[in-house]
Amino acid sequence: MNTRIIKDSEEFRSIQADWERLEQLDQDATFYSTFQYNYTWWETYRQHGQLTLFIICCYHEGKITGIAPLMIRRADKLVFSCHTLCFLGKGDYFNFLIDYQGDQAAADILAEMFGEIQRNKNSWDKIELTHLEQNTRLLHYLWRQDQYNEHVKYLTSCPTIDLEKYHSFDAFIRSKEYTKAKKSRDKFTKSVNYRFKVIVGTETDEIYERVSKVHRAQKDYMQQHKGRTERRSLFENKLNEDFLKKLFKDNEQVVTFLMEDAEGDIIIYSISYVHNGILYDWNSGYAPQYAAFHGLSNILFIETAQYLYQHSIGKKIDCGAGSYAWKFKWTDQFKINYSLKMWNMSKFKSRLFRLVAGLYTLGHSGLLVIEEFIVPTF
């Protein structure tokens, strides 16, 4: 077993076939693990200038058996630069891809890849592997290693909805949650004649402009009328917009559920990424003129649920990171995400960063938390 580190875009592109093979074989893979998602993100953000590829490929008998989709992110602070080894992209779940042939084989592959990380410790000051889902082999491996165990911490929760528990749509409409949402729908339809639509594939080019307009308008409304001055829209970042437009283009894995009024304007929408029968709920928004009507998201959900029962997209919905109350309206199930954050204590600069970060946190909160270092996020 041997490893190779990919550090340029041409080499990245050359492993597409192996990457896509592993994303189908690995039972822990999510949409955020796919080659399409990661390569599209890299092709957009590599122009930033502070990112360097660090993709580790593990080989056995000349065949790729594992891929660690990593990069090194540089953050300049005064006279120093902090180099953080982290996952490519931005999403709710991250993982290493493994050609699964049993628990021991997986552990050996992971050990080899982390061995490569340690052999290159002069290249990084900090490891920051976030959004590690609780049941993945990667997280279990980290928990079993004395070197990493103490640095693994709780990060967030991701509520999940499994429509299969109702067996059929007829069973679903007999649930208490559906009955309450139907009352909201009946009330809403008395004043608004809406249409439910599903947008997928080649239609996503046009829908991008429409939903981004709604999301920006909602941000302005929240800032001006709700006092939410911290509110931002992800559609306002130029690089992020370029990435999303590339990702959306002719992509059958991007599905938008929406309601529009008689004039064809969007009332509310929800966008999901689809992978292996799971819908990863990614972004949603509503038109400010409908803000006074409570229960819009529930109306959209029962329309979406009916569509999912009637089509073969999938019946499991991952609501994404964050334990917000509205996410638990339809479920009591959730996944837990963890993160690994660890300084490279073999380097004087890293020890200095660790000390400064602790003093910074102490000065602002009164609590000494030495794991954090403030760096830009992408």
- Three-state SS string over the chain comes to CEEEEECCHHHHHHCHHHHHHHHHHCCCCCHHHCHHHHHHHHHHHHHHCCEEECEEEEEECCEEEEEECEEEEEEEECCEEEEEEEECCCCCCCCCEECCCCHHHHHHHHHHHHHHHHHCHHHCCEEEEEEEECCCHHHHHHHHCHHHHCCEEEEEEEEEEEHHHHCCHHHHCCCHHHHHHHHHHHHHHCCCCCEEEEEEECCHHHHHHHHHHHHHHHHHHHHHHCCCCCCCCHHHCHHHHHHHHHHHCCEEEEEEEEEECCCCCEEEEEEEEEECCEEEEEEEEECHHHCCCCCHHHHHHHHHHHHHHHCCCCCEEECCCCCCHHHHCCCCEEEEEEEEEEECCCCHHHHHHHHHHHHHHHHHHCCCCCCCCCCCCC
Q: For residues 88 and 48, state if they share a domain.
A: yes
Residue 356's pLDDT band (cuts 50, 70, 90): low
pLDDT at 234: 85
Q: Is residue 118 part of a domain?
A: yes
Is the pLDDT reported for residue 67 higher than 80? yes
The predicted pLDDT at position 373 comes to 40
In a shared domain, residues 172 and 226? yes
The total number of residues shown for the chain amounts to: 378
In a domain, 309, yes or no: yes
Task: Check whether residue 242 and residue 95 sit in a common domain.
Answer: no
**Any domain includes 205:** yes
- Based on the fold, state whether residues 286 and 185 are members of the same structural domain: yes
184 and 272 co-located in one domain: yes
Bigger pLDDT: 105 vs 17: 17
Q: Say if residue 142 is in the same domain as residue 249.
A: no
pLDDT digits (tens, 9 = 90+) for 71-82: 999 988 767 788
Tokens of residue 236, six digits? 């306002």
**Per-residue pLDDT averaged across 163-170, rounded?**
90
| More confident position, 172 or 372 | 172
Same structural domain, 199 and 114: no
Asked if pLDDT for residue 269 goes beyond 50, the answer is: yes
Assess whether 276 and 350 both reside in one domain: no
Do 106 and 172 belong together in one domain? Answer: no
Confidence check: pLDDT of 371 > 50 = no
What value does the mean pLDDT take over residues 14-38?
96
State what percent of residues in the chain have pLDDT above 90.
Answer: 73
My answer on whether 191 and 330 are in the same domain is yes
pLDDT for the residue numbered 187 = 95
Of residues 177, 211, 197, the one with CA closest to residue 298: 177
Same domain, 126 and 197: no
Domain total of the chain: 2
The residue segments making up the domain with residue 77 are 2-150+345-365
- pTM (2 decimals)? 0.88
Q: Is residue 377 part of a domain?
A: no
Instruction: Choose the most confident range, by mean pLDDT, from 122-131, 206-215, 321-330.
Output: 122-131
Tell me the average pLDDT across 50-72. 96
Residue 30 lies in a domain: yes
Nearest to 69 by CA among 48, 91, 49: 91
User: Environment class of residue 122 by beta-carbon count within 10 Å: exposed (0-12), middle (13-18) or buried (19+)?
Assistant: exposed
Whether residue 370 is contained in a domain is answered as: no
Please write down the long-range contacts of 147-150, taking CB distance under 8 Å and 24 or more positions apart: 148/114, 148/340, 148/342
**Mean predicted confidence (pLDDT) in 30-35:** 97
Q: What is the pLDDT of residues 294-320, one digit of tens each?
A: 899 999 999 999 999 999 899 899 999
pLDDT at 229 over 90: no
Q: Is 346 exposed, middle or buried (0-12, 13-18, 19+ CB in 10 A)?
A: exposed
Average pLDDT over residues 283-293: 94
Q: pLDDT-derived band of residue 370, with 50, 70 and 90 as boundaries?
A: very low
CATH code, domain carrying 142: 3.40.630.30
In a domain, 378, yes or no: no
202 confidence band (pLDDT: 50, 70, 90): confident
Reported confidence tier of residue 206, pLDDT bands at 50, 70, 90: confident
- Say if residue 363's pLDDT is above 80: no
Residue 55: band (very low, low, confident or very high) from pLDDT cuts 50, 70, 90: very high
CA atoms within 13 A of residue 150's CA, in its CB half-sphere: 4
Residue 205 near residue 244 (C-beta atoms within 8 A):
no
pLDDT in tens, 231-263: 888 888 889 999 999 999 889 999 999 999 999
Residue 322, Cα to own-chain centre: how many angstroms? 11
**Cα atoms in the 13 Å half-sphere on the side-chain side of 223:** 11
What pLDDT was estimated at residue 323? 87
On the question of pLDDT at 11 being above 90, the answer is yes
- Per-residue pLDDT reduced to its tens digit, 94-147: 999 999 775 668 999 999 999 999 999 999 999 999 999 999 999 999 999 999
C-alpha neighbours within 13 Å on the C-beta side of residue 199? 23
Closest Cα partner for 300 from 252, 263, 334, 267?
A: 267
pLDDT averaged over every residue in the chain: 90
End-to-end CA distance of the chain: give it in Å, rounded: 33
In a domain, 293, yes or no: yes
Res 362: pLDDT: 52
pLDDT at 7: 96
143 and 207: one domain? no
